[in-house]
Structure 1
Amino acid sequence: YFLARILQFQFYKGLCDAAGYKGPLHQCSFYGNKEAGQKFWAMLSKGASQPWQATLKEITGGDKLDAGPMIEYFTPVNEWLKQQNQGQMCGWQPPAAAAAAPKAP
């Protein structure tokens, strides 16, 4: 499940690249693009006939898992969240009594 999420964004970026898209990744649409469509169908037609790393290389140019495309896709919302949370305390603080209590050996 977790690997599928990473691969999803790698495939998405690979198809955007095949379509010649040059803008922010989150705005890419390869709908109706013949090059991206051919690359996609070529990948699907392989099925389980070869190792997944070979199929990944055919669509993305690399044979390793890479979370970079996922990070790139979500960069705008991440920047917005940083701005919204500026000056805010994130996480948990221990209760004052527990923090002041001596630790047991």
Structure 2
Amino acid sequence: MTWLVLAAAIGVEVFATLGLRASDGFRKRGWIAPIVVGYLASFYLLWLTLRLGMPVGVAYGVWTACGVALVAVIARYVFGDPLTVKMLIGIAFIIAGVLVIELAGAVG
């Protein structure tokens, strides 16, 4: 259940972040409400994840790493944003770091 809530938090945060890009600097005002609601919902779900017992280092690490990776990949296809080899290597390092934190938490 905890991982499912965290996955929902990640999905909503990615939507809100992509909404920031779609809003064109808030010139497209129709995006303001979904962005605000999205971030509030994401933080609520992250809080719920912590309340359900996931360590903050693991929850926040997974939340941010998945958010960065998903936003970069989705923005490439939705908005045509660049996604270079160096960026992909950086994403791989982020994911590796989160895995190390997760594995260290499971051992300790």
Q: TM-score range by the shorter chain?
A: under 0.3
> Normalising by structure 1, what TM-score?
0.27
Greater CA radius of gyration, 1 or 2?
1
Structure that is richer in helix per residue: 2
